[in-house]
Amino acid sequence: MQRDKTEPVQVECPRCRHTEIIYIPIETMPRCPECGTEMFIKELLDEGKST
């Protein structure tokens, strides 16, 4: 059985630098609640890795 694997990522608004944490996979990129601009993935927050 396979569970849906979700990973937290930090997204940032290119206009006002508002950041949020979302979980991928996602269907569409979220829009900034402050200015409505489409946000982009800034950083993967993969803390489950133990290498």
42 in contact with Zn ion (CB under 5 A):
no
Kindly state the number of chain residues that form the binding site for Zn ion, as judged by CB under 5 A.
Answer: 8
Other C-beta atoms closer than 10 Å to the C-beta of 30 total 12
Q: Count, in order, helices (H) and strands (E) of the chain.
A: 0, 3
Q: Which of residues 18-37 bind Zn ion (CB under 5 A)?
A: 18, 32, 34-35, 37
Give the CA angle between residues 17, 29, 42 to the nearest 5°. 45
Binding site residues, Zn ion, CB under 5 A: 13, 15-16, 18, 32, 34-35, 37
